[in-house]
């Protein structure tokens, strides 16, 4: 029943300064050995073709003398030596090519993992959640997932840049050698190669812009794919026959994201590449004619042909690598932008020197709040007191601002104006970690953690995950113990059907598990209990059981409960009615009923609908 180490590790903050470094430095920090291997193999891959060409030329040059001198002779031994050198160079080239690829892939994977882990740590670091609800930052942050797939991965940049340098050297070196045979031919080859590379680079820049410019469409396409393939949406997709709609949306979003147009640049790149190949073919024809006319030595001819082949190989390598590097560079730039944007979008101070004392109650004084990127105040001048050890219920229509109030209490956002004080101390002056340890919460959309049942509860106070008795007590309090014990592997059952022997729970059972998690937190020091619609998914019997235990569950805790179920609400010591971001009524159930105001109307409405349901049931 112990929570696995995998699940208890605290997010790492290593590599904090990585994003300020160039990718070369990141590679060096990631693995010196692999970085050196990538650099050296790139260097040798560039030099060996030239060495092979020169040695081959020398070999051809000396061959006639060796044949006439016969074996054994010094001339024949030199030929053997040259042959051995060619063999060694070919071996070095092969080893460097294969080794460079393997080292490049290994280094790339490690760099990508490091960058993604850094981004995860950076995204989790802000105390608030504004950056997770801001479309611009969300778009940048998605780079950490989408951009690290296939050929967009930045990790391959260091080895690909090695390939680019090697390709550029091969093109230049090859063309320079061609130039020694014919200056116009060499220049023509160099210029057409440069043009091809320039056009290739323009295409890749545009492709990168188009790719990331269309990330909203990409996300939509991905969303359609997820809906079609994940169990959560499976029921509704079938009942409402949405398969055709999803396929059409996927098609449209995918097409919008990727685009179909062939740009002018790709035509120009094709023309320039054809010209380059034509120059090279012309050069070979020119060489053959001069060699057959006896104007040029055959050995030299071989060296020139090889130089042409090396230049062509270099140009092809550049052409293939440039788009990849360009896209990966764009990913890396977006990664850096995401690293910079995440903390700025959610600046909430973590450190504070105030003493934490929720024992005296929590007071909201004239609190107003507006979400970033919004033009409307969601809370307006809220004054509210949560007495220590008592339970306060907040009621109001959908969208009134109840959940927002809880988010402010958790310091997931800070009030735009006004303050929240715990026993007279502004919670903004408290050490955030210490304040959060005071809180236990069951949110409406509580997380269905894809871990085992024990861990699902232990996450309430993960440092005490080995408190088996505490986990059991929390499960009993929340009424979920029997459910857990009936699972295939009991407390060790993974709560996901994605695993063999895994199990899923019903909505109500998940909600009880979330309540158990909060109870576990309270047994380890949390004093403020936040319940946001804790009975929303419960059946009538579970709901009744929750109310029966409500006093026991909340005993000694400063509790704030948001609920539409008036049977829960009436058990609270104080009821606060919120309408359109303002407190409009407060008092006990009896007081508010006597006032005959908004609360009384809502309560009567709900009571009548229950009465109707009972009458209907009796008549049936
Ligand atoms: P309640 O819990 O009372 O139903 P909420 O506090 O969730 O209401 O929301 C209050 C208002 O704030 C709603 O109009 C909602 O649309 C808006 N709102 C909620 N979350 C955000 C957000 N992240 N960004 C912008 N507006 C939001």
The minimum-distance atom of ligand 1 relative to the CA of 405 is: 6
Cβ–ligand 1 contact at 374 (below 6 Å): yes
Which atom of ligand 1 is least distant from the CA of 444? Answer: 2
Between 482 and 128, residue with greater pLDDT: 482
* Minimal-distance CA residue to ligand 1 atom 27: 371
**Nearest atom, ligand 1, residue 401 CA:** 6
Q: Determine whether the shortest distance from the Cβ of 396 to ligand 1 is under 6 A.
A: yes
Where is 241: in which H helix or E strand? none
Mutation pick for ligand 1 pocket among 404, 412, 577, 598 (CB with most ligand atoms within 8 Å): 404
Measure 397 CA to ligand 1 centroid, in angstroms.
12
Distance CA(166)–CA(162), nearest Å, equals 6
Residue 179 tokens read as 């130039």
- Which of these ranges, 14-28, 98-112, 311-325, has the smallest mean pLDDT? 14-28
Buried b (16+ CB within 10 A) or exposed e, 154-181: bbbbbbbbbbbebbbbbbebbbebbbeb
Confidence of residue 355 (pLDDT cuts 50, 70, 90): low
Q: Provide the token pair at 570.
A: 């009436």
Residue nearest to atom 25 of ligand 1 (CA): 371
pLDDT at 618 over 60: no
Which residue CA neighbors atom 16 of ligand 1 most closely?
399
pLDDT in tens, 13-70: 434 556 666 888 889 999 999 999 999 999 998 889 889 988 988 888 888 888 888 7
Q: How far is CA 588 from CA 393, 570, 585, 600, 604, in A?
A: 10, 8, 10, 11, 16
Mean pLDDT of 569-575: 86
* Helical (H) or strand (E) element with 582: strand 582-587
398 CB near ligand 1 (under 6 Å): yes
State residue 480 phi and psi, 5-degree precision.
-120, 5
- Which candidate, 142, 132, 579, 578, places its Cα nearest to that of 373? 132
Mean pLDDT of 202-211: 75
271: closest CA among 214, 363, 200, 346? 200
Q: Are the C-beta atoms of 598 and 579 separated by less than 8 Å?
A: yes
Tokens of 309: 């082949």
Atom of ligand 1 nearest to the CA of 404: 6
Compute, in angstroms, the gap from residue 378 CA to the centroid of ligand 1.
7
- Relative to the CA of 578, which ligand 1 atom is closest? 3
> Against a cut of 0.75, is the pTM above it?
no
- For residue 123, the CA-to-ligand 1 centroid distance in Å is 22
Q: State in Å: Cα 401 to ligand 1 middle.
A: 6
Cα(565) to ligand 1 centroid in Å equals 20
User: Both tokens of residue 405?
Assistant: 């109030």
C-alpha 392 to ligand 1 mean position (Å): 21
d(CA 536, ligand 1 centre) in Å: 18
- Determine which residue's CA is closest to atom 1 belonging to ligand 1: 399
Tell whether the model's pLDDT for residue 467 goes beyond 90.
Answer: yes
What is residue 147's predicted lDDT score, i.e. its pLDDT?
66
Q: Which atom of ligand 1 is nearest to the CA of 581?
A: 10
Nearest residue to 529 via CA among 543, 540, 514, 542? 514
Map residue 19 onto helix, strand or coil: helix
Q: How far is the CA of 405 from the centre of ligand 1 (A)?
A: 10
Residue 10 has pLDDT above 50, yes or no: no
- DSSP strands (E only) in 523-580: 528-532, 558-562, 574-579
* Residue partners of 442: CB distance under 8 A and separation at least 6: 511, 514, 515, 517, 518, 530, 531, 532, 534
Place of tokens 């055709």: 244
Kindly state the average pLDDT of the residues 152-168: 87
Model confidence at 576: pLDDT above 90: yes
Atom of ligand 1 nearest to the CA of 407: 6
Q: Which atom of ligand 1 is nearest to the CA of 396?
A: 3
Mean pLDDT of 398-424: 92
Which of residues 387 and 606 earns the better pLDDT score?
Answer: 387
| Mean pLDDT across 73-78 | 85
Q: Is the pLDDT higher at 464 or at 231?
A: 464
- Helix (H, G, I), strand (E, B), or coil: what is residue 308? helix
By alpha-carbon position, which residue is closest to atom 12 of ligand 1? 378
**From the CB of 399, is ligand 1 less than 6 Å away?**
yes
Q: Hey, which of 403, 560, 577, 583 would you mutate to test ligand 1's pocket, going by the most ligand atoms within 8 Å of its Cβ?
A: 403
Query: Among residues of the chain, what percentage have pLDDT more than 90?
Result: 29
Residue 215, pLDDT score: 64
Q: How far is the CA of 377 from the centre of ligand 1 (A)?
A: 10
Q: Is the CB of 133 under 6 A from ligand 1?
A: yes
- Cα 404 to ligand 1 centroid, rounded to whole Å: 6
Residues 137, 133: Cα–Cα separation, whole Å: 8
Question: What is the rounded CA–CA span in Å between residue 213 and residue 597?
Answer: 52
Report which of residues 532 and 496 the model is more confident about: 532
Residue scoring higher pLDDT (610 or 534): 534
Closest protein CA for atom 7 of ligand 1 = 403
Which of the pair, 101 or 215, is modelled with greater confidence?
101
Does 442 have pLDDT greater than 70?
yes
pLDDT of res. 17 = 55
Best residue among 132, 368, 373, 401 to mutate for probing ligand 1, ranked by most atoms within 8 Å of CB? 401
Give me the pLDDT at residue 5, please.
37
Residue 401 Cβ contacting ligand 1 at under 6 Å: yes
Is 531 or 294 the better-scoring residue by pLDDT? 531
Within 13 Å of residue 526, how many CA atoms lie on the same side as its CB? Answer: 25
Among 467-481, 584-598, 602-616, the range scoring the smallest mean pLDDT is 602-616
230: exposed, middle or buried (C-beta count within 10 Å: 0-12, 13-18, 19+)?
exposed
Identify the sign of the CA torsion 394, 397, 401, 407: positive
């Amino acid at each position: 029943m112990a929570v696995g180490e995998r699940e208890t590790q605290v997010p790492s903050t290593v590599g904090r300064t990585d994003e300020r470094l160039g990718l070369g430095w990141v590679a060096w920090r990631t693995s010196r050995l692999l970085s050196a291997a990538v650099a050296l193999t790139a260097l040798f891959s560039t030099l060996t073709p030239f060495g092979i060409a020169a040695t081959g030329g020398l070999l051809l040059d000396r061959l006639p003398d060796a044949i006439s001198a016969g074996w054994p002779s010094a001339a024949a031994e030199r030929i053997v030596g040259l042959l051995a050198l060619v063999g060694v160079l070919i071996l070095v080239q092969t080893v460097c090519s294969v080794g460079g690829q393997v080292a490049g892939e290994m280094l790339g994977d490690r760099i990508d993992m490091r960058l993604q882990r850094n981004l995860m740590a950076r995204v989790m670091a802000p105390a608030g959640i504004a950056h997770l609800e801001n479309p611009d930052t969300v778009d940048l942050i998605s780079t950490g997932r989408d951009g690290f797939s296939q050929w967009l991965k930045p990790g391959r940049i260091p080895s690909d840049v090695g390939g680019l340098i090697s390709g550029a050297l091969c093109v230049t070196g090859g063309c320079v050698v061609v130039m020694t045979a014919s200056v116009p031919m060499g220049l023509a080859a160099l210029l057409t190669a440069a043009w091809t590379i320039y056009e290739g680079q323009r295409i890749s820049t545009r492709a990168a812009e188009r790719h990331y410019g269309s990330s909203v469409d990409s996300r939509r396409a991905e969303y359609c794919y997820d809906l079609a393939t994940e169990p959560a949406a499976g029921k509704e997709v079938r009942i409402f026959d949405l398969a055709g709609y999803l396929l059409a949306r996927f098609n449209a979003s995918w097409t919008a994201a990727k685009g179909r147009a062939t740009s002018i640049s790709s035509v120009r790149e094709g023309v320039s590449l054809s010209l380059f190949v034509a120059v090279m073919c012309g050069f070979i024809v020119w060489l053959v004619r001069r060699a057959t006319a006896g104007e040029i030595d055959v050995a030299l001819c071989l060296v020139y042909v090889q130089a042409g082949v090396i230049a062509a190989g270099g140009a092809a390598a550049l052409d293939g690598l440039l788009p990849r590097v360009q896209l990966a560079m764009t990913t890396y730039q977006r990664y850096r932008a995401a690293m910079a944007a995440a903390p700025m979008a959610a600046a909430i101070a973590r450190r504070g020197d105030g003493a934490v004392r929720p024992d005296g109650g929590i007071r909201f004084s004239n609190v107003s709040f507006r979400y970033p990127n919004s033009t409307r105040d969601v809370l307006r001048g809220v004054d509210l007191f949560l007495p220590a050890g008592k339970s306060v219920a907040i009621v109001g229509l959908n969208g009134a601002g109840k959940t927002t109030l809880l988010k402010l209490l958790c310091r997931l956002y800070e009030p735009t104006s006004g303050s929240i004080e715990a026993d007279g101390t502004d919670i903004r002056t408290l050490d955030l970690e210490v304040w959060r340890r005071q809180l236990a919460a069951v949110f409406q959309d509580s997380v269905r953690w894809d871990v085992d049942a024990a861990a699902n509860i232990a996450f309430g106070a993960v440092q005490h995950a080995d408190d088996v008795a505490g986990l059991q007590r929390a499960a009993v309090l929340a009424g979920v113990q029997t459910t857990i014990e009936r699972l295939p592997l009991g407390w060790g059952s993974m709560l996901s059907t994605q695993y063999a022997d895994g199990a899923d729970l019903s909505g109500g059972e998940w909600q009880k598990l979330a309540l158990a998690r909060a109870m576990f937190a309270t047994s380890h020091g949390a004093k403020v209990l936040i319940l946001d619609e804790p009975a929303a998914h419960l059946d009538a019997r579970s709901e009744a059981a929750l109310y029966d235990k409500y006093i026991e569950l909340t005993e000694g805790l400063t509790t704030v409960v948001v609920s539409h179920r008036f049977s829960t609400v009436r058990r609270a010591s104080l009821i606060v009615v919120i309408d359109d971001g303002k407190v409009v009524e407060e008092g006990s159930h009896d007081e508010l009923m006597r006032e005959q105001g908004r609360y009384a109307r809502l309560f009567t409405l709900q009571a009548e609908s229950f009465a109707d349901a009972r009458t209907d049931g009796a008549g049936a």
